[in-house]
Amino acid sequence: MKLYDSHRAPNPRRVRWVMAEKGIEDVEIIQVDIMSGEHKTREYRDRVGVPHVPSLELDDGACISESVAICRYLEALYPEPNLFGHDPKEQAIIEMWTRRCEFYLANPIMLNVRHSHPALAALEAVQVPQLADYNRVAAERFMKTLDRHLAEHEFIAADRFTIADVVSAVGLDFARLIKYRPPEDLTNLARWFEACRARPAAKAGV
C-alpha cells in the first residue's frame, strides 16, 4: 500500500499517528507537495479522485481518501491496539466523539490557521481574517465542553486512547503553527493534550 502524505498537513498526520500506534510499517509513504499544487495535477486527481491528502492506495490500485476512513480501514487490517471500539456501543460512542471533535474542533482550528498564516495563503483563493476569528471562537466554545468532559475522563471517548484523541490532538497541535495556545483556564484540556503529545506515536513523521 502507498500513503499519499504531505509532511506538515494535519489530516495525513492523523494516519501517520494511527500507523505508529499500531506499529504499521509496510506502507510506502509518498510525499505530495501541496504548497506547489502537486495534489491538483491531472495525474494525482485521476488517481485519487479529489485534490486532497491523505489518500491510501491499495495494492489493487483503489484509492481511499478521508483520513478517518483510511484509519478505519487500517484498524480492520491491524486490530490492535483498538482505536475504534470493541462492541457496537463503544464504536458508536467513539464515532460520536470523533465527529464532534472533527466538526467543532479540528475543522474550525484548521480554518483559523489557513486564514491566518501568511504561508497558507497559497491554499486559499482569498484569506479572510474574520473567518479566522469566527472559527477560533467556535473551536474555543467546544474546547470548554471538552475541558468539562476531561475533568471526569482521562481520554475523550473511552477509557483508553482512541481515534477521537488523534483527531483532536492533531487539530490542536496544528494551531501551534500560528503560535496559538488554548485558553489557560482549560486545565483538563491541557493535561489531556500533554498526555497525547507525550505518546511516542505523536512524533510519527513530524
The count of residues interacting with ligand GSH (CB under 6 A) is: 13
Q: Which of 9, 105, 170, 172 binds ligand GSH (CB under 6 A)?
A: 9
Which set of grid coordinates corresponds to residue 202?
505523536
Nearer to ligand GSH, 10 or 85 (CB): 10
Q: Compute the distance between CA of residue 83 and CA of residue 103 in angstroms, rounded to an integer.
A: 19
Contact between 22 and ligand GSH per CB under 6 A: no
Q: Compute the distance between CA of residue 11 and CA of residue 94 in angstroms, rounded to an integer.
A: 18
Distances (CA, A) of 160 to 32, 90, 174, 184: 33, 11, 23, 25
Distance of closest approach, residue 36 Cβ to ligand GSH, in angstroms: 11
Distance of closest approach, residue 87 Cβ to ligand GSH, in angstroms: 25
Contact between 172 and ligand GSH per CB under 6 A: no
Contact between 34 and ligand GSH per CB under 6 A: yes
Q: Compute the distance between CA of residue 159 and CA of residue 139 in angstroms, rounded to an integer.
A: 24
Q: Compute the distance between CA of residue 53 and CA of residue 48 in angstroms, rounded to an integer.
A: 9
Distance of closest approach, residue 59 Cβ to ligand GSH, in angstroms: 21
Distance of closest approach, residue 123 Cβ to ligand GSH, in angstroms: 4
Contact between 131 and ligand GSH per CB under 6 A: no
Nearer to ligand GSH, 11 or 162 (CB): 11
| Residue range at the interface with ligand GSH (CB under 6 A); choices 21-29, 64-72, 78-86, 195-203 | 64-72
Per the listing, cell 468539562 goes with 148
Query: Within positions 81 to 120, which residues make up the interface with ligand GSH, using CB under 6 A?
Result: none
Q: Compute the distance between CA of residue 6 and CA of residue 8 in angstroms, rounded to an integer.
A: 6
| Residue range at the interface with ligand GSH (CB under 6 A); choices 19-27, 47-55, 145-153, 197-205 | 47-55
DSSP for 15-62, please give it. HHHHHHHHT---SEEEE--GGGTGGGSHHHHHHHSSS-S-EEE-TTS-
**For residue 54, is the peptide bond before it cis, meaning its omega torsion is within 30 degrees of 0?**
yes
Q: Enumerate binding residues for ligand GSH (CB under 6 A).
A: 9-11, 34, 39, 51-54, 65-67, 123
